[in-house]
Amino acid sequence: MKFIGTRGTDEKKSFSEVILNPAAPNGGLFVPEKLPKIDERFIIRYYDDRDETTYRHIARGILKLFKIDIDKDLIEEALYTYLRNFDDPEVVPVVKVKRDLSVAELWHGPTRAFKDMALQPFGVILSDLAKKRDENYLIMAATSGDTGPATLKTFENRENIKVVCIYPHEGTSEVQKLQMVTTDAKNEKVLGILGDFDDAQTTLKALLKDEDFRKTLDEEGIKLSAANSVNFGRIIFQIIYHFWSYLKLLENGEVLLGQKFDVIIPSGNFGNALGAYYAKRMGLPIDKIVIASNKNNVLYELIKFGRYDLRDKKLIKTISPAMDILKSSNVERMIFDKFGEERTKELMTSLEENGYFELTKEELAKIQEDFDADFATDGECEEIIRRYANKENYLMDPHTATAIKAYEYLKEKGKLNNYVVAYSTAEWTKFAPSIYYALTGEDVNREIAELEEQTISDKDAIAYIETHYDVKAPDMIRELFEKDIVNENIINKNAIKDEIIKFIKS
């Protein structure tokens, strides 16, 4: 399979080239020239072998469809991370919560967030490619809280790799921050910036295109790559679990073969949603892909009204910080698939230069064929968390709560007519104070200023929840509170480039 750029490209690239060098020409993103197709026979083959079908088995089958230029043995090594580093034998448990609702839990990996689903195998493949080519790579990751820890974990102490992780200093949970600043791998640098995630992501994308920066890297014998979902090496692994969820629905008798189902995805950078969209385009019988947002609801406005408007818009801090994003990179890939190269360039140029673009009515209708959207306030998320913990015996994090709120609202409005899979993107332990306040009701109608002055620590919140809700935090979370902070660097966003250059020269 070959890959092309969303804004035009002089030549087609292989998967290995794209994963190592994710910056497409003209500021675009790489996408498959053509998506592979499946039919019911593909699903039947795995369903009939369900006693033998594991997550690794279906992942192997999906990757084979893409015909990527990666050795079979390396693919096996990458997929082995699902067996070695995840604490549930199914990798992604699909848990029935209501009569017509199951939750697919994507957070059973080493950093307790869905980013492990892609970054665990991704790290193995990229590192091996670099080593075999005898090349040294700088991997940059901008994070709103989950990509950073997952990137640091997958690349820690790997040969031929250096990692720089950029996060908003006051824009993550305490656990997310501890997962980054306690890393002591010599090949990794963590930078907390005085800004938000969009500042971090904008800087990363600018550095990928910065010729002076690349020249400095060349002089040091270092090539540049990225671990964010701008890298299609991430996206390909985010397609797989949608197929897995459908197989589990079939196995559990929730749907019949060929019957459509809906998915609801908490969305910040749109990578998870793009994975569902590609899975649908490949032939998986997904009906609606529902985008669940928090109050930073730019994706809601795009899907409901056809406009992406960042003018006079400021990022709002919420209790679901991994979704506190205004610039959703992967929207570009969906727009390219819908409307082609020229329209993509036109819309993205308008967004970059004017902070705004608007679709035609016909274009909006095409997007709404596949997508619907909803958003939730912090108060609505807290009410969902409290009610489901107490009445449904299901404990969830604030990001998952946005998806459950969308499920309830759109069901009530008659917009969801199929069985629903909602995706849970993080374990409750990563946002324990918010869960504590939701469960105790201590923070009803709190203002954001009060949210920033929370009085309970993550450690104490975890202890309370464990005591009162018969759950246990995993050891990798408990151990964070005993580790030394060894990698904390707080800088102005304008100093990122200089700090990275110092690190690679050290």
Q: What is the pLDDT of residue 448?
A: 47
Q: How far is CA 213 from the centre of its chain?
A: 27
- Residue 454 has a pLDDT of 57
Distances (CA, A) of 496 to 36, 354, 403, 492: 39, 25, 34, 7
CB 406 within 8 A of CB 351: no
β-bridge pairing 30-32 and 3-5:
antiparallel
Burial of 178 (0-12, 13-18, 19+ CB in 10 A): buried
Ramachandran angles phi, psi of 491, nearest 5°: -135, 165
Q: Which two tokens stand for residue 424?
A: 């849970």
Q: Which domain holds residue 372?
A: 93-112+233-428
Determine the pLDDT at residue 199.
Answer: 87
Any domain includes 286: yes
Angle formed by the axes of helices 147-155 and 115-132, to 10°?
40
Amino acid 48: pLDDT: 84
| Type of residue at 490 | I
Residue 174, in any domain of the structure: no
Task: Determine the distance from the C-alpha atom of residue 273 to the mean position of all C-alpha atoms in its chain, rounded to a whole number.
Answer: 9
The tens digit of pLDDT for each residue in 66-118 reads 999 999 999 999 999 999 999 999 999 999 999 999 999 999 999 999 999 99
Query: 165-203: per-residue pLDDT in tens?
Result: 999 998 888 999 999 999 999 999 999 999 888 888 888
Does residue 475 lie within any of the structural domains?
no
pTM value? 0.94
Residues 6+ apart with CB under 8 A from 309: 298, 301, 355, 356, 358
Tokens representing 442? Answer: 């201590």
Report which of 311, 310, 333, 315 is spatially closest to residue 325, judged by C-alpha positions.
315
Number of domains in the chain: 1
* Residue 392: predicted pLDDT: 95
Place of tokens 């201590």: 442
Residues 6+ apart with CB under 8 A from 51: none
Residue 281 covered by a domain: yes
pLDDT digits (tens, 9 = 90+) for 430-455: 999 999 999 998 754 444 445 555 57
Is the residue at 243 inside a domain? yes
Length of the chain: 506
- When pLDDT is averaged across residues 13-20 and rounded to a whole number, the result is 96
C-alpha 389, offset from chain centre: 25
User: Mean pLDDT lowest for which of 37-51, 291-305, 487-501?
Assistant: 37-51
| 241 falls within a domain | yes
Average pLDDT rounded to a whole number, residues 305-320: 95
Q: What percent of the chain has pLDDT over 90?
A: 86
H or E stretch at 377: none
Q: What is the pLDDT of residues 333-368, one digit of tens each?
A: 999 999 999 999 999 999 999 999 999 999 999 999
Taking 50 as the threshold, does the pLDDT of residue 485 lie above it?
A: yes
Residue 213 within any structural domain of the chain: no
β-strand partners of 102? 96, 421
Q: Would 61 be classed as within a structural domain?
A: no
Give the tens place of pLDDT for each residue, 121-156: 999 999 999 999 999 999 998 888 899 999 999 999
CATH number at residue 269: 3.40.50.1100
